C-alpha cells in the first residue's frame, strides 16, 4: 500500500525544469493465489501519449522468499506486463497482476519519474545476502533457456529464428482478447517449451511441469498446432539419491501424461543434446 507520506512528497515535488506531468501506478504481483498479498514489482507512468515503465530486474530476494521455481513465474509475468503496457493493452488478462489507482506525478521526463519512484515503491529489487555455503543448487528456466537457445542458434544458423519465438511473442489471440502463454518454441506447425527440472524440491519441478502442460494445451487449442513438444533438462549429481529419486518420479509421471496428450517429450541431462533434439523437432514441424 502506498503511504500518505509518499503521496504528499510526490505532490510537493517540483523539479528544476518541469517538463512532464501525469499519473503513475504501481504494478503489483500476487505470488500466491491462496493469500491476498500483493507485491510491488514495477512502476508505470503515463503523460498524454507518452509512457514509461520500469520493472523488477533483480530476482535474488524474491526467489529467496518464495522459492526456486517462483522466479520463472515472475520473469514470465513481467515480460507479459511489458508487452501489454507497451502496446497500451489492459493487463487484466495477465493472471496475478494488478495496477494501483493512478497518482499524480511530475518530472523532467517520463523516465525520470519512474526512476525516482521505483526505489521507493519496489522493495524486492537488489541482491540478497548469500554466503558461499548457502549457494542454491538449482537451474531455473531462464538460465537454462539462455544456454539452450544459444546452442540452437549455433546449430541451426539462420533457421533458428524459425524455431525460437521472439522475446515479446507471448500473446495468443482468443476471441478478440490476448492470452499470455510461456511457449518459447514456435514453428509454422508446432509449439514447444523448454523447462528445467534442476530444482532441489520435487514440488518445484512438478509446478514447472504443470505450468508447461497448461500452456501447451491452451496454446494448441488456440493455434491448432500440429506438433507440440516438451524438452526437459534433468541434471545429475546435484542432489542426494533419495531427493533425486523423488524428482525422477515426478518427471516420469509427467512424461506419461504429456505423451498420452499427444505431446512429444524429450528428457536429457545434456543441454547440447536438448538443443540438437529441438533443432530436429523444429525442422520436422516447419
Distances (CA, A) of 225 to 126, 172, 220: 40, 12, 5
- pLDDT bin (cut points 50, 70, 90) of residue 97 is very high
Helices and strands counted in the chain (H then E): 8, 11
- pLDDT bin (cut points 50, 70, 90) of residue 20 is confident
DSSP 8-state secondary structure symbol assigned to residue 35 = S
What residue segments make up the domains of the chain, in order of their start?
Answer: 4-121, 138-284
Q: And the C-alpha cell for 146?
A: 539462455
Q: What is the pLDDT of residues 140-192, one digit of tens each?
A: 899 999 999 999 999 999 999 999 998 768 888 877 778 899 999 999 999 99
Phi, then psi, of 64 in degrees rounded to 5 = -65, -35
Average pLDDT over every residue of 26-31: 94
Q: Is 6 exposed, middle or buried (0-12, 13-18, 19+ CB in 10 A)?
A: middle
Q: What percentage of the chain exceeds 70 in pLDDT? A: 88
DSSP bridge partners of 233? 196, 268
Question: What is the torsion angle, in degrees rounded to the nearest 10, for the CA atoms of residue 22, residue 58, residue 94 and residue 247?
Answer: -170
Q: What is the pLDDT of residues 40-76, one digit of tens each?
A: 999 999 998 899 999 999 888 888 888 878 889 999 9
- The CATH number assigned to the domain with range 138-284 reads 3.40.50.10130
Query: Is the pTM of the predicted complex or chain greater than 0.95?
Result: no
Q: Is the pLDDT of residue 212 over 90?
A: yes
Q: Is the pLDDT of residue 139 over 80?
A: yes
Q: Looking at the chain, which runs of residues are DSSP E strands?
A: 20-29, 39-47, 50-55, 97-99, 103-107, 171-174, 177-180, 185-186, 190-196, 227-233, 264-268
Amino acid at each position: 500500500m502506498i503511504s500518505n507520506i509518499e503521496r504528499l512528497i510526490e505532490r510537493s515535488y517540483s523539479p528544476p525544469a518541469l517538463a512532464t506531468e501525469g499519473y503513475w501506478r504501481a504494478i503489483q504481483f500476487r505470488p500466491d493465489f491462496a493469500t491476498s498479498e500483493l507485491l510491488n514489482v514495477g512502476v508505470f507512468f503515463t503523460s498524454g501519449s507518452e509512457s514509461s515503465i520500469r520493472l523488477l530486474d533483480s530476482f535474488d530476494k524474491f526467489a529467496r522468499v518464495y522459492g526456486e521455481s517462483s522466479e520463472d513465474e515472475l520473469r514470465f509475468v513481467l515480460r507479459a506486463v511489458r508487452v501489454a503496457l507497451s502496446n497500451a493493452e489492459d493487463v487484466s488478462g495477465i493472471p496475478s497482476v494488478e495496477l494501483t489507482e493512478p497518482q499524480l506525478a511530475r518530472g523532467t521526463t517520463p523516465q525520470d519519474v519512474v526512476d525516482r519512484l521505483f526505489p521507493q515503491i519496489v522493495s524486492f529489487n537488489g541482491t540478497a545476502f548469500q554466503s558461499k555455503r548457502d549457494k542454491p543448487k538449482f537451474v531455473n528456466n531462464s538460465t537454462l533457456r539462455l544456454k539452450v537457445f544459444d546452442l540452437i542458434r549455433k546449430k541451426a544458423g539462420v533457421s533458428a529464428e524459425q524455431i525460437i519465438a521472439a522475446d515479446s511473442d507471448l500473446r495468443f489471440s482468443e476471441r478478440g482478447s490476448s492470452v499470455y502463454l510461456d511457449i518459447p518454441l514456435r514453428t509454422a506447425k508446432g509449439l514447444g517449451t523448454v523447462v528445467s527440472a534442476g530444482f532441489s524440491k520435487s514440488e518445484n519441478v512438478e509446478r514447472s511441469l504443470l505450468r508447461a502442460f497448461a500452456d501447451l494445451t491452451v496454446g494448441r487449442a488456440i493455434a491448432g498446432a500440429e506438433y507440440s513438444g516438451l524438452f526437459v533438462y534433468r541434471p545429475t549429481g546435484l542432489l542426494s539419491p533419495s531427493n533425486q529419486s523423488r524428482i525422477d518420479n515426478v518427471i516420469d509421471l509427467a512424461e506419461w501424461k504429456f505423451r498420452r496428450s499427444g505431446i512429444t517429450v524429450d528428457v536429457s541431462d545434456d543441454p547440447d543434446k536438448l538443443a540438437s533434439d529441438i533443432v530436429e523437432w523444429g525442422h520436422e514441424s516447419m
